[in-house]
Structure 1
Amino acid sequence: MTHISSIDPTTGKIIKQFKPHSREQINVSLRKADAAFHKWKEIDVSERSKLLSDLSQLLRSRKQELGELITQEMGKVIKQSQAEVLKCADTLGYFAVHAEELMRPEDTRTDAALSMVSYEPMGPVLAIKPWNFPFWQVLSAASHILAAGNVILLKHSSYVPMCALMMEELFLEAGFPDGVFQTLLTDGPTASSLITRDEIKAVSFTGGNATGKKVAEIAARNMKKFVLELGGSDPFIVLDDADVNKAAAVAVPSRYINTGQTCIAAKRFIVAQDVAGEFTAKFVELTEKLKLGDPMDKNTDIGPLVREEQISTLEQQVEDAISKGAKSLIPGGKMEREGFFYSPTVLENVNLHMKVVNEETFGPVAPIITVKNEKEAIRIANSTQFGLGASIWTEDREKGALLARQLEAGMVAVNAFFRPEACMPFGGIKESGMGREMAKHGFYEFIHPKSIKIY
């Protein structure tokens, strides 16, 4: 890798190029992280919380500027970019409030005079993160990793180097000690090799399944803790007793948020046959109303994809579906204009043999599957290698709760689209990952629970 290019997806033109960090620069960063950790872990958790709160406020005050940076570098529409910044601020604020409570030693009864479990940080954590939520993917994990007393070395996606460098600047501006949060500009293989280094104690990875498995393999061989948040093919189930209009109104943004480039976006619409026609018609109607164009325009709903290769992947998935009998209700596809634009595509007559069902569709393609009843809906929803999020629609809440327990997913919403919140664990099962981020469950992923008995 001779350079890392920041490319504007709206135009396809290079914004800026960066020279990757040399091996010596990376070594310096590793040593700095190790030294910073030994000081950072000794800082009282209340002081760490204060810094998290200060960073939260800094993000809020610079929402416009940071939102524009996200939009410029990866193409997300500006209203969603700004919302991403505020979501990060909320999450930092949550752990600023709760870190002290979560770090408090837990007294327990044993045969000793005094027994407790203390919670100790692990050390420098290597965070390998993707481009689709360039601030959120980093800060949602960093908020609790840092609150616990660990430090972070970030290897961000090479698609978003400006966002990656900006985050390091923000941490310093908020008053965090030098070395507590550092950005490494490097390639994937180099980042993977860092897992073997003694300075690195754990890995937080978000990204594709194939890469995630390689990260897990290296981490396991070197006895390093890891958390993986991988791909998803989330089902959006509409039963025959659902409020169809409401379901369709939520289904459209659930599919097309971030131009469909979201791990927990609705990706398979599984609809009971009695309401399939009504739901599909409403879904198509609402999809056709979406405005595609300049992502800096606050009225735009769908911007460009991050890179041209994303378009090629979607084209192959859609062509595969059509060749196997799917019908295109909205043809969509690559647009003949500057930038990496792909207009929404809606498919019906979709079956389980098609790539749009078996693979993760990372873009504005919506496959609709018709089923006979709720039993078949659950079976098809679970017939996937993935298990990240899910949504189920029914006016019977008791039934919805029962069926939610039957879905093979890490997160389920009934009569809503699942939105991450700092108070709830985020993560999946099966090929969608291992471990959790956020809430107390994510907080303790990068903590050593130490048993202490005093006689």
Structure 2
Amino acid sequence: MGQTLQCISPIDGTVFAERLTLSPDAARQVAQQARKAQLEWAARPLQERIDRVLAGIAAVGEMNDVIVPELAHMMGRPVRYGGEFGGFEERGRHMAKIAQQALADIMISDDAGLKRYIKRVPHGVVLVVAPWNYPYMTAINSVAPALIAGNSVLLKHATQTLLVGERMAQAFHAAGVPEAVFQNVFLDHATTSTLIAERAFEFVNFTGSVNAGRTLEQAAAGTFTGMALELGGKDPGYVMEDADLDAAVATLIDAAMFNSGQCCCGIERIYVHESLFDAFVEKAVALVEDYRLGNPLEETTDIGPMAHVRFAAEVRAQIDEAVAAGATAHITTKPQDDGGAYLTPQILTGVNHGMRVMRDESFGPVVGIMPVADDAEAIRLMNDSPFGLTASLWTADLARAEHIGDRLQTGTVFMNRADYLDPALCWTGCKDTGRGGSLSVIGYHNLTRPKSYYLKAPSD
């Protein structure tokens, strides 16, 4: 018998779904089935694989009326936002669109008697370990290009979003992707590590915590299994003196608070030029004070509960520690704040980098705001972090943004935008945020390996 995984709904603390994990032997069999099926799948024409993946994406869209309230029950996102299908489809369709180009042979020469080229060939079996915060969009980042490239995929989803993998597998199977080629699996941590150590997979794509990423790397040590790891983040925003103040407030505060702050590239710290600092804070506080915290199944709710009580407890601890150390909390506790998963979104000033709220990943609805004197101070503070996923720069000067961006230790630089994933660009990070990259042409390169051909005709 396997371990029972339970999704505890943040709405009311009840068990929303539960599933049994596979035993190690059963998990090995699933991986072996995937390996056998992969060879036939990779032999199919690329366009056929593209078409079936696109049909699977469309089939997920047909389930959206069921998926949206299901997500609210599992991880607390308000139904008013309509789920994730827009981003899910945008990413999947873009990867389908560029597949022919991204996977094309690199021809070196095709002369009389000698042909030289480099192919992109699938790794084999790819394990995708997906997170709960954007469970469909984060999964499709790897699932779509991995399948299109000719890999078979095992999808292991987070316990908090237990039903997402089942929904995706159901849709893709109905669209003609063979069941053994795309399998949803329920695995405990120990079995996952055991399979990685046994080289059950040729590639692992993981999105989650730094500690979990380290565990997977340790499991893979000596196996030479390829890995892409998107781990923690503490993304900064910098508002310069020439910024559009209203646009900067609206975008950065939304990026800090949307999805109850549970966004991989959410803004967790903001640096504002001292000439705009007071006005920025005043507008930001007014915006957040107007948020309606409540049951995510109600259309009037702007911000729902955090996905789990323990996540909210960590954010509360960071806020309380900062206030005890001299920070000012600007948002009055909302009546719906129950001391559990329902947490008042908070803006802090008087913060510094000695406080955990400005150093550790919060992954919740809190943001610290600091004044800065100039670009040099802002760059120093933005780089003063163990993480490096995105940075958001607010200015009217493109050249200035590029100059600052070149000095930032980050995976993506935004100008006058935040908390967005452009599928044409590589989604990547540095430092403790991890390594590798998904989406774009580079995403295909990470999900395949190069194979060289030197074909010389026999001499006369």
TM-score, length-normalised on structure 2?
Answer: 0.95
Q: Measure how far apart 1:333 and its partner are.
A: 7.9
- 2:108 aligned partner: 108
1:275-354 maps to which residues of 2 (within 5 A)? 275-332=276-333, 335-337=336-338, 340-354=341-355
- 1:233 aligned partner: 234
The separation in 1 between residues aligned to 2:191 and 2:332, in whole angstroms, is 41
- 2:137 aligned partner: 136
Q: Is 1:62 equivalent to 2:63 in the alignment? A: yes
The separation in 2 between residues aligned to 1:453 and 1:334, in whole angstroms, is 71
Q: Is 1:124 equivalent to 2:125 in the alignment? A: yes
Q: Is 1:257 equivalent to 2:258 in the alignment? A: yes
**1:373–1:296 CA distance, 2 compared to 1 (3 A):** same
- 1:427 aligned partner: 428
Report if aligned partners of 1:251, 1:283 keep a CA contact under 8 Å in 2: no
Q: Measure how far apart 1:368 and its partner are.
A: 0.7
TM-score, length-normalised on structure 1?
Answer: 0.96
Give secondary structure in 1 for the equivalent of 2:201.
coil
Give secondary structure in 1 for the equivalent of 2:406.
helix
The separation in 2 between residues aligned to 1:22 and 1:193, in whole angstroms, is 11
- 2:271 aligned partner: 270
The separation in 2 between residues aligned to 1:193 and 1:334, in whole angstroms, is 47
Q: Measure how far apart 1:24 and its partner are.
A: 3.3
Q: Measure how far apart 1:11 and its partner are.
A: 1.0
The separation in 2 between residues aligned to 1:268 and 1:75, in whole angstroms, is 23
Give secondary structure in 1 for the equivalent of 2:364.
coil
Once the two structures are superposed, what CA deviation does each residue of 1:271-323 show, in whole Å capped at 9, x if it has no partner?
11111000000000111111211212333221111111112111211122112
Letter in 2 for 1:405: D
1:16-165 maps to which residues of 2 (within 5 A)? 16-82=17-83, 84-109=84-109, 113-165=114-166
The separation in 2 between residues aligned to 1:326 and 1:240, in whole angstroms, is 24
Percent identity, aligned pairs only, is: 28
Q: Measure how far apart 1:339 and its partner are.
A: 6.5
Once the two structures are superposed, what CA deviation does each residue of 1:415-446 show, in whole Å capped at 9, x if it has no partner?
11141122111011111110100001111102
Report if aligned partners of 1:66, 1:85 keep a CA contact under 8 Å in 2: no
Letter in 2 for 1:376: E
Q: Measure how far apart 1:377 and its partner are.
A: 0.6
CA RMSD, 1 decimal: 1.8
Letter in 2 for 1:385: P
The separation in 2 between residues aligned to 1:194 and 1:301, in whole angstroms, is 41
The separation in 1 between residues aligned to 2:339 and 2:379, in whole angstroms, is 42
Q: Is 1:399 equivalent to 2:428 in the alignment? A: no
Q: Measure how far apart 1:332 and its partner are.
A: 3.9
Letter in 1 for 2:97: V
Q: Measure how far apart 1:100 and its partner are.
A: 2.1
Q: More deviation in 63-72 or 317-326?
A: 63-72
**1:334–1:363 CA distance, 2 compared to 1 (3 A):** farther
Give secondary structure in 2 for the equivalent of 1:274.
coil
**1:316–1:152 CA distance, 2 compared to 1 (3 A):** same
Report if aligned partners of 2:395, 2:401 keep a CA contact under 8 Å in 1: yes
Q: More deviation in 52-61 or 369-378?
A: 52-61
Once the two structures are superposed, what CA deviation does each residue of 1:248-283 show, in whole Å capped at 9, x if it has no partner?
011121101111011100110111111100000000
**1:332–1:305 CA distance, 2 compared to 1 (3 A):** same
Report if aligned partners of 1:10, 1:339 keep a CA contact under 8 Å in 2: no
Report if aligned partners of 1:69, 1:163 keep a CA contact under 8 Å in 2: no
Give secondary structure in 2 for the equivalent of 1:268.
strand
Q: Measure how far apart 1:201 and its partner are.
A: 0.8
Report if aligned partners of 2:272, 2:370 keep a CA contact under 8 Å in 1: yes
The separation in 2 between residues aligned to 1:19 and 1:427, in whole angstroms, is 33
The separation in 1 between residues aligned to 2:176 and 2:28, in whole angstroms, is 24
- 2:246 aligned partner: 245
Report if aligned partners of 2:231, 2:434 keep a CA contact under 8 Å in 1: yes
Letter in 1 for 2:417: A
Q: Measure how far apart 1:4 and its partner are.
A: 1.0
Report if aligned partners of 1:234, 1:268 keep a CA contact under 8 Å in 2: yes
Give secondary structure in 2 for the equivalent of 1:406.
coil
Q: More deviation in 72-81 or 404-413?
A: 72-81
The separation in 2 between residues aligned to 1:232 and 1:198, in whole angstroms, is 29
The separation in 1 between residues aligned to 2:259 and 2:118, in whole angstroms, is 42
Letter in 2 for 1:121: P
Report if aligned partners of 2:199, 2:223 keep a CA contact under 8 Å in 1: no
Q: Measure how far apart 1:335 and its partner are.
A: 4.9
Report if aligned partners of 1:12, 1:339 keep a CA contact under 8 Å in 2: no
- 1:451 aligned partner: 452
The separation in 2 between residues aligned to 1:377 and 1:91, in whole angstroms, is 32
1:169-184 maps to which residues of 2 (within 5 A)? 169-184=170-185
Give secondary structure in 2 for the equivalent of 1:178.
coil
The separation in 2 between residues aligned to 1:267 and 1:96, in whole angstroms, is 33
The separation in 1 between residues aligned to 2:388 and 2:81, in whole angstroms, is 25
Size of the alignment, in residue pairs?
Answer: 454
Letter in 2 for 1:381: M
The separation in 2 between residues aligned to 1:332 and 1:348, in whole angstroms, is 16
Q: Measure how far apart 1:95 and its partner are.
A: 2.1
The separation in 2 between residues aligned to 1:131 and 1:306, in whole angstroms, is 8
Q: More deviation in 216-225 or 102-111?
A: 102-111
Report if aligned partners of 1:235, 1:266 keep a CA contact under 8 Å in 2: yes
Q: Measure how far apart 1:218 and its partner are.
A: 2.4
1:377-416 maps to which residues of 2 (within 5 A)? 377-416=378-417
The separation in 2 between residues aligned to 1:40 and 1:436, in whole angstroms, is 24
Give secondary structure in 2 for the equivalent of 1:47.
helix
The separation in 1 between residues aligned to 2:257 and 2:127, in whole angstroms, is 31
Report if aligned partners of 1:390, 1:418 keep a CA contact under 8 Å in 2: no
The separation in 2 between residues aligned to 1:81 and 1:34, in whole angstroms, is 36
Letter in 2 for 1:96: A
Report if aligned partners of 2:98, 2:441 keep a CA contact under 8 Å in 1: no
Q: More deviation in 18-27 or 262-271?
A: 18-27
Unpaired runs of at least 5, structure 2: none
Letter in 1 for 2:349: E
Give secondary structure in 2 for the equivalent of 1:135.
helix
